[in-house]
Amino acid sequence: MRLLEPTNSVVVSSKRPILKWKPLDGATEYRVGWFEKTLGGNRQVIKTEQGMTTTKSEYQIEEDLVPQRMYAWFIGAINEDGAQFGYYSSG
């Protein structure tokens, strides 16, 4: 799985960025999450979204992030049996 936008460890300029990735064959849903990256490598998971539709390979974050901070993203592809078979993490 590959994230197309935004790039890894980007400083966000939008409060609600749109994540876009290359879809995986066989995925029936995606789990999407993000965390703020801080100095020293500390991170705090902010939100995880589950149950996205099978036709989407993008997700707009639905709550305001803090502009000019660095975030990392993760996406997991889930098949029809509920098993995760693909995973991406930028951080």
Q: Pick from 7, 6, 3, 45: which is nearest to 24 by CA?
A: 3
Question: How much is the pTM?
Answer: 0.76
**Res. 2: pLDDT tops 70:** yes
Q: Which residues pair with 31 in a beta bridge?
A: 76
Q: Which of residues 54 and 67 earns the better pLDDT score?
A: 67
**Res. 52: pLDDT tops 60:** no
Q: Which of residues 61 and 81 earns the better pLDDT score?
A: 81
Residue 32 in contact with residue 78, Cβ under 8 Å? no
pLDDT tens per residue, range 5-51: 887 667 788 888 898 999 999 998 888 887 777 766 566 555 555 54
Give the separation between CA 4 and CA 10, rounded to whole angstroms: 12
